[in-house]
């Protein structure tokens, strides 16, 4: 179940969101201001997968070191997280890790196979398989906390965003045992054995929630829940079989969001039809992929207020990653359109509509940041 805030303390006084040290405070940073629906001092921008294969300095420090090993070396994870901030002057760092790290720390047999992705030693497909899963302990998350502490110590007033994989995406990998194109396994399981699916999704939700909370308590100023594969679901299946578990994951940090204004972002790919339902899982900011114009995303959210009365929320997105390799005049026009469309929402953080392609020229990203910063908030 979500952690009890009476047992687990709120943010410490030296946390970047609560500190009175102006050189380390992120509370009035452009990113947090926009996430909270305010007017920032400059238009904030960061990129999903900005810490990664597009950077030669990343490839250099990762040479000969496996992906999961890199994530669990605090000094290395911190260095990789910081690299794009130094190079691009983005308005946030995104914690370098992987969505299957909570599985690894819990003791699940999983690895990242080059050219394939996450592969489990054995798939999780029955109630017995779920019951045999080990639980992620608070102590196992210490390497994550240490990496966050090291990162935040170097970031100053630039916020760190923590992240976790959403329960559906993580559970989909667990059911299939490896990446899948159509996610038939989990989609079938939620109908053929809904109790086993519910138990697995709850396990994934608690692992994600604990992972995310560890990052925020250690110094992250915001959190993002990634649901890479939710776009394969119908609205009905999402609402019935997935939304409660995403809400459970975010429930682990909801007390921090309420008490300290920690922004919680929910992002998925191919999820244009799911935006209101994803918002209603508990996010305060919605990430929008490149398939839907930001203006239309805003209108859909505003027209469908949730049970708590919320409709429109700040948005994040949504430059098409494919255009990073287009001629500059084409990319520039597109970036300007995205920034202009984002003004319809209560707040806007510029990002890609998915992650940075590994073949991207880093100088193009730097130039995009300079352009975004030149445009009025």
21 is catalytic: no
Place 8 in a pLDDT band, splitting at 50, 70 and 90.
low
pLDDT at position 7 is: 45
103 pLDDT more than 70:
yes
118 forms bridges with which residues in the sheet? 112
Identify the CATH assignment for 30-374 out of 3.30.2000.20, 3.20.20.210, 3.40.50.10210, 3.30.470.20.
3.20.20.210
pLDDT at position 115 is: 86
Point out the catalytic residue in the list 24, 42, 53, 291: 53
Place 9 in a pLDDT band, splitting at 50, 70 and 90.
low
2 pLDDT more than 70:
no
Using alpha carbons only, give the angle 160, 311, 287 rounded to the nearest 5 degrees. 35
5 pLDDT more than 50:
no
299 is catalytic: no
CB burial of residue 13 (10 Å; 0-12, 13-18, 19+) = exposed
Point out the catalytic residue in the list 173, 187, 279, 300: 173
62 pLDDT more than 90:
yes
**What span, in angstroms and rounded, lies between the C-alpha atoms of 232 and 214?**
29
Tokens representing 71 are 């994530």
Q: What is the DSSP string of 223-263?
A: EEEEETTGGGS-HHHIIIIIHHHHHHHHHTTHHHHHHH---
Percent of the chain whose pLDDT exceeds 90: 94
For residue 275, what are the CA distances in angstroms to 116, 141, 240, 285, 313?
Answer: 29, 31, 15, 11, 11
CB 234 within 8 A of CB 274: no
Using alpha carbons only, give the angle 3, 77, 247 rounded to the nearest 5 degrees. 30
Computed over every residue of the chain, the mean pLDDT equals 95
Average pLDDT for 84-103: 97
**What span, in angstroms and rounded, lies between the C-alpha atoms of 325 and 364?**
8
98 is catalytic: yes
267 pLDDT more than 70:
yes
108-163 residue pLDDT tens: 999 999 889 899 999 999 999 999 999 999 999 999 999 999 999 999 999 999 99
Average pLDDT for 163-175: 97
Better pLDDT: 238 or 4: 238
**What span, in angstroms and rounded, lies between the C-alpha atoms of 173 and 125?**
11
pLDDT at position 250 is: 98
Give me the phi and psi of 224, to 5 degrees please: -130, 130
Place 371 in a pLDDT band, splitting at 50, 70 and 90.
very high
**What span, in angstroms and rounded, lies between the C-alpha atoms of 367 and 363?**
6
Point out the catalytic residue in the list 24, 42, 62, 291: 62
CB 39 within 8 A of CB 345: no
58-62, 110-114, 149-153, 295-299: least confident range? 110-114
pTM: 0.96
Place 40 in a pLDDT band, splitting at 50, 70 and 90.
very high
For residue 281, what are the CA distances in angstroms to 35, 166, 199, 245, 306?
Answer: 17, 11, 18, 8, 10
CB 230 within 8 A of CB 168: yes
Point out the catalytic residue in the list 49, 87, 213, 279: 49
Give, to the nearest 10 degrees, the angle between helix 362-374 and helix 74-88: 60
22 pLDDT more than 70:
yes
Point out the catalytic residue in the list 35, 58, 98, 279: 98
What's CA 304's distance to the chain center, in Å?
23
User: Which helix or strand (DSSP H or E) is residue 118 part of?
Assistant: strand 117-120
For the chain, what's the residue count?
Answer: 377
Average pLDDT for 168-175: 96
């Amino acid at each position: 179940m979500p952690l009890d805030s009476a047992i687990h303390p709120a943010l410490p006084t030296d946390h970047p969101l609560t500190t009175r040290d102006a050189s380390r405070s992120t509370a009035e940073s452009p990113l947090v201001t926009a996430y909270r629906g305010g007017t920032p001092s400059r238009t904030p921008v960061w990129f999903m997968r900005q810490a990664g294969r597009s950077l030669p300095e990343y490839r250099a420090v990762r040479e000969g070191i496996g992906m999961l090993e890199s994530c669990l070396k605090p000094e290395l994870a911190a260095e990789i997280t910081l690299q794009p901030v130094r190079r691009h002057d983005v308005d946030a760092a995104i914690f370098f890790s992987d969505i299957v790290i909570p599985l690894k720390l819990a003791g699940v047999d999983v690895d990242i196979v080059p050219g394939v992705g996450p592969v489990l030693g054995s798939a999780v497909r029955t109630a017995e398989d779920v019951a045999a899963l080990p639980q992620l302990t608070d102590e196992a998350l210490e390497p994550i906390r240490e990496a966050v502490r090291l990162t935040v110590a170097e970031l100053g007033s630039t916020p760190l965003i923590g992240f976790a994989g959403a329960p559906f995406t993580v559970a989909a990998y667990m059911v299939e045992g490896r990446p899948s194109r159509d996610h038939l396994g989990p989609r079938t399981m939620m109908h053929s054995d809904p109790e086993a699916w519910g138990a697995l999704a709850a396990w994934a939700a608690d692992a994600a929630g604990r992972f995310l909370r560890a990052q925020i308590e250690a110094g992250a100023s915001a959190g993002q829940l990634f649901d890479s594969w939710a776009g394969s679901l119908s609205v009905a299946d999402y609402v019935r079989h997935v939304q409660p578990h995403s809400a459970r994951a975010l429930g682990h940090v909801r007390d921090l969001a309420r008490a300290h204004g920690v922004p919680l972002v929910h992002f998925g790919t191919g999820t244009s039809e799911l935006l209101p339902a994803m918002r209603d899982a508990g996010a305060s900011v919605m990430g929008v992929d490149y398939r839907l114009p930001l203006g239309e995303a805003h209108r859909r959210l505003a027209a469908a207020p949730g049970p708590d009365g919320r409709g429109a929320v700040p948005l994040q997105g949504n430059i098409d990653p494919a255009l990073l390799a287009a001629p500059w005049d084409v990319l520039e026009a597109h970036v300007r359109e995205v920034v202009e469309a984002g003004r319809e929402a209560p707040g806007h953080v510029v990002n890609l509509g998915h992650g940075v392609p590994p073949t991207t020229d880093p100088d193009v990203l730097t130039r995009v940041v300079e352009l975004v910063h030149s445009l009025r908030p």
